[in-house]
Amino acid sequence: MKTLQPRIVLGITGSVAAYKAAELARLWVKSGIAVDVVMTGAACRFIAPLTLQALSGRPVWTQMWEGAQDGMQHIALSRGAQAIVVAPASADFLARVAQGRADDVLSALCLARECPMFVAPAMNVQMWTHPATQRNVARLRADGVNVLGPDSGDLACGETGEGRMLPPEAIAAAVATHFAEETAFGALLAGRRVLLTAGPTFEAIDPVRGLTNRSSGKMGFALAQAAAQAGAEVTLIAGPVTLPTPPGVARIDVTSAQEMADATFARIDRVDIFIGVAAVADYAPAAPAEQKIKKEASESLTLMLRPTVDILAELAQRAPHVFRVGFAAESQNIAVLGEAKRRRKHLPLLIANRAQDAINADDNEVILLDDSGAHPLPRMDKSLLARRLIREIASRWHQWKKTNS
């Protein structure tokens, strides 16, 4: 069976360091990687596209519509590529990508990508240290972009400080290390079965009304995707959300807390790890009305509520052989209340966050709580956080198995 040649898209922006991109292309081609070069108009003023074409042996793209029969080359170039690497990345380019701009072929390609992205900044020291640039870089990191460098030293403008593009060898090595780590990530949970719950539950008051909460399900779905990427066989029990099912994940849709509990208990004996991310309602109407309750202007409405099944607490009794991870969304005293919940429900690991900051947000900041104490993680995009949490869970699961085998 023929193995496909790996391919990298090399983006070049307007910087004196553009000449270093030629050596970067040469290094990759020499190691058997196909290189598609995409240049901005400013980059073409520093180095000729013909130079990169000669080194890569492939066409160099400089205009949005050139060479594309269907006008979609700015999308198609990233499909099947292992990475997009922009080196050098100017301050202007970083700003445009951080804002989600797509006004030239390179920025459009970055916005439409399905692959990892790396940027190697190159600029004057004042431009690099300016608060605006630092905000843009922080946004890119939060969006999952890998920022390589810059180095410190003598700059082309005659000044000294941070802003030099990393040497081509260092960039190539960093990209290679990233993919080696990705390969390792893909084996973290290989052959293991992971069961997750995500989203809110909906407890009926009558046929049209109910009690629910504002959970979006984003964190649970991101964790399901990350677990699948780590090689696990993943089943996701989802409350009423409209999120797409992550690739490689088996999804079971439920509505109420009882339905979520039933689906969990029916599958728990066949899994290695359970991750309870769902915001399960603590209470449900004791006697839901069979018909719609009519509003009476002169009367108040009293609802009798009953506790719902406590899935995490039940699992401590039903499945002590399963590594159980819980989530806690607290509005205050996060670590203290989270640790109390962890001990009360006999969990090896609990992940606590501030409810006000996490609900419906695309990023999150959490504290990991286990027998050794509290371990805070910095705020980051939920997709990145999910991968970090899967690493943490896999590490603890391996140790837990040794201790409990």
Closest C-alpha to 393, from 340, 351, 353: 351
- Read off the tokens for 292: 């719609």
CATH code for the structural domain at 193-283+303-404: 3.40.50.10300
All structural domains of the chain with their residue ranges: 7-185, 193-283+303-404
- Read off the tokens for 40: 């901005």
What is the tens place of the pLDDT at every residue in 53-97? Answer: 999 999 999 887 665 545 566 677 888 888 999 999 999 999 999
pLDDT at 405 over 80: no
- Read off the tokens for 156: 């082309």
Cα–Cα–Cα angle for 349, 352, 356, rounded to 5 degrees: 165
What is the tens place of the pLDDT at every residue in 303-340? Answer: 999 999 999 999 999 999 999 999 998 888 999 999 99
Distance of alpha carbon 281 from its chain centroid, rounded? 26
Topology of 7-185 in CATH? Answer: Rossmann fold (3.40.50)
How far is Cα 115 from Cα 77, in angstroms, rounded to an integer?
11
Q: For the range 292-295, what are the long-range contacts, defined as Cβ-Cβ under 8 Å and sequence gap of 24 or more?
A: 292/206, 292/207, 292/208, 292/209, 293/205, 293/206, 293/209
What is the tens place of the pLDDT at every residue in 12-47? Answer: 999 999 999 999 999 999 999 999 999 999 999 999
Q: Write down the pLDDT at residue 2.
A: 46
pTM assigned to the model: 0.73
Please compute the mean of the pLDDT values over residues 284-296 and round it to a whole number: 89
Q: Write down the pLDDT at residue 298.
A: 66
What is the tens place of the pLDDT at every residue in 163-187? Answer: 899 999 999 999 998 888 877 888 8
- Is it true that 7-185 and 193-283+303-404 share their CATH fold? yes
Is 44 a known active-site residue? no
Closest C-alpha to 260, from 240, 285, 246: 240
Mean residue pLDDT of the chain comes to 90
Query: Out of 44, 110, 115, 157, which one is annotated catalytic?
Result: 157
Q: Write down the pLDDT at residue 33.
A: 92
